[in-house]
A and B are shown apart, each in its own frame.
Chain A
Amino acid sequence: MDLALQLLVNGVITGSHYALLGVGFGIIFATTRIVHFAYGPIFTVAAYMAWYSAAMLGLPIPVALLIAILAAVLLGVGSYVLLYEPFEKRQAPHLVPLIASLGLYIVLENLVGIIFGSGVRVVREFTNGIHFMGPVFFTTIHIWQVVVLVVLGGALAVFLRWTSYGKAVLAMTDNPEMARIIGIDTRKVAILVFAIGSAISAPSAVLILLKDGATTHMGFLAVFMAFVAVIVGGIGSIKGAVIGGFALGMVESLGMLRIPTEWQSSIAFMLLFLVVLLRPQGLFGAAMRR
């Protein structure tokens, strides 16, 4: 029973992390229809920038976080303006930006390795506290992972529901051509969602840096889990990405009750295959038009 409770708590924590990644990746995907796989190495760059700022320059962690967010936003917006947008202007098929994104993924990941080296980078100045609550335990970083999802997810929901540009994002997600017809500058909205999606990835990256350290390949798991959360939750649904992320975290964690731990990393694949087979549009997705 204690084990089940601990795995449930772990599921909430991991689910929060995946949900946040799913929201960042999903808002870009839903609004622009670009499968931005380079989201992974941008996550890595954010972690390394935070590590460099905190461990090498000795800056406080909140400042390092701001630098990480800035780096992620610049790279995210840069990848849209310099890479994806020229293909859009030429009305290239959707497969072309996807391949370009994979190319950018490889370039960025290798650049991180060349600049920072390939070892694990940790912030030794940070000590992760351990907290007990009855039979379960969690760390300070775990608390932050849940808090960051609640705060950023809530802020994003308020932005989308109550601001003019938030509604423009929802409009473009629903029907991009109609968004142009009512006078929405869809380029501005695309840049905005790349900035928001990338910014959201940075706090997650910094928390993983503080928890496990940064490696050049850390972005793969981030973008893969974000992708699975979006597909499970439903393409085009931001609420779906949150629930998809939680479902993924829960299944991955509670699955340990019955499935040997060496299979843990396969659970995401199994969930993905099941959803694609049984409900291809995802839990909250509608059939895509366009």
Chain B
Amino acid sequence: MSTAILEARDLCAGYGKKQIVNGVSLSLNTGEVLLILGHNGAGKTTFVRALFGLMTPMAGQVLYEGKEITGRKPAANVADGIAFVPQGHGIFRSLSVHDNLELGGFVEPDKSVLPQRLEQINGLFPILKERASQTAGTLSGGQQQMLAIGMALMHEPRVLILDEPSIGLAPNLVERVMSSITEINQRFGTSILIIEQNVPLSLPIAHRAAVIKTGEVVYEGAPEPLQDHVKLMQLF
């Protein structure tokens, strides 16, 4: 039986008095890729922001490796092995590609391991090595997304949360990003929670899938049934 590495129990979250996530219970198992689908405004981003500590949940619990971390600050979560790649290329646009990657390892207490990690990431995304001294904001959209994922990997997280990594990318780049997510999962054993709207390209890489609608989980299970267009439309 697989064990949950990151778990939300009846999580409620929102902005001000407006509740957007209404009691979501989901768990990411060790070593798996969990895909969360849902239309715009379904509450997916709010859910992962509350999970990662970027906003304080209104109710419910977040557990990491069986230990409660509800409302814990992102700095503590990152130091504990959780990484988050926000929607829309989470990079520092005015800094160089190299500086961005180095900052990705900010929480690493032993900085001597960073050059080796940098090599691993350059192996995964060779373009980042070629563009090391380039200002990150001048990279193409796909390269920025690779950089954002590379930064998240710099502190060797056990859990990687990705919020719509395909947004704004050309279809061939989406395929490239999706295949790199599979590679990260297989090569580093990283458990990955990925939010997506691009159903056809993200479903094949998922071990399990969930659908969120108006802040509630309406489907959780194998990804295959969601390939049925009619079923998916009913859930959306």
Residues of A within 8 A of B (CB): 164, 167-168, 170-171, 173-175, 177-178, 180-185, 236, 286
Contact = CB atoms under 8 A, between A and B. Distances in A.
A175 B111 CA distance: 23
Contacts of A180: 54, 73-75
Contact of A174 (B79, B93, B102): B93
Contact of A177 (B73, B86, B152, B155): B86
- If over half of A's interface residues share one DSSP class (helix, strand or loop), that class is named, otherwise mixed; here it is helix
A185 B75 contact: yes
A184 B99 CA distance: 14
A167 B54 contact: no
A174 B106 contact: no
B111 A183 contact: no
The 5 closest A-B pairs by CB, nearest first: A183-B78, A183-B107, A174-B92, A183-B75, A174-B94
B111 A164 contact: yes
Contacts of A184: 75, 103, 106
Interface of B: 52, 54, 73-75, 77-79, 84, 86, 90-95, 99, 102-104, 106-107, 111, 151-152, 155
A175 B95 CA distance: 11
13 contacts: A167-B99, A170-B92, A170-B99, A174-B92, A175-B91, A175-B93, A180-B73, A181-B52, A181-B54, A183-B107, A184-B106, A185-B75, A286-B94
B97 to A, nearest CB: 13
B78 A182 contact: yes
A164 B99 CA distance: 10
B34 to A, nearest CB: 20
Contacts of B74: 180-181, 183
A170 B99 CA distance: 10
Given A168-B106, A171-B103, A182 B151 contact: yes
B83 to A, nearest CB: 8
Given A167-B106, A182-B78, A182-B107, 6 more contacts: A167-B99, A171-B106, A181-B54, A181-B84, A183-B77, A183-B107
A171 B151 CA distance: 13
A178 B86 contact: yes
Contacts of B107: 182-183
Contacts of B78: 181-183
A164 B92 contact: no
Contacts of B152: 182
B92 A178 contact: yes
A164 B94 CA distance: 17
B65 to A, nearest CB: 18
A237 to B, nearest CB: 9
B234 to A, nearest CB: 35
Nearest to A186: B75
A255 B28 CA distance: 67
Contact of A178 (B91, B99, B102): B91
A181 B162 CA distance: 12
A167 B93 CA distance: 13
Nearest to A168: B106
A28 B213 CA distance: 42
A120 B104 CA distance: 52
B75 A170 contact: no
Contacts of B54: 177, 180-181
